Amino acid sequence: MPALTDGHPDPEGKQLVRLARMLSSFVEEDNGSYAVYLSYCSLLQPGASGEARTAEESALYATSLQTLPAIYGHEAIPVLVLDSMPEEMDPTGATAKAFASRGWAHFE
């Protein structure tokens, strides 16, 4: 999911609403239950003011990255990538780069 600002991926919750609509269609289709993994929210990020991770946080982040192939590559786990945003959403800062030109997008 493209981040809208450098400090928060979705400060007004608009992308979360969009994601919820998409996910509800999965549940309506098969009445199943799903776990949701959002990379920005699930991996330790630098501080809100740009401060670096502590040594302990960096170690946890590195460990977390090692588990991602199981999430993104497992045949039983569907992956939904939101690679664009509605026109009314205006990203700022470094996040304004096109999703496809970002390194993280290539990993996902």
| Full pLDDT tens readout for the chain, 108 residues | 556 666 777 788 888 888 888 888 888 888 777 788 887 788 888 877 778 899 999 999 999 989 888 888 888 888 877 766 666 666 555 555 555 555 555 455
pLDDT of 96 reads: 52
What radius of gyration, in Å, describes the C-alpha atoms of the chain? 15
- The model's pTM is 0.62
What are the extents of the domains in the chain? 14-107
Helix ranges (DSSP H) in 9-102: 14-30, 39-42, 55-73
Alpha-carbon span 78 to 82, nearest angstrom: 13
Location of structure tokens 């400090």: 7
CB 9 within 8 A of CB 3: yes
Write phi, then psi, for 22 (nearest 5 degrees): -65, -45
Q: Which stretch of DSSP H or E encloses residue 32?
A: none
What SS3 state is found at 95? helix
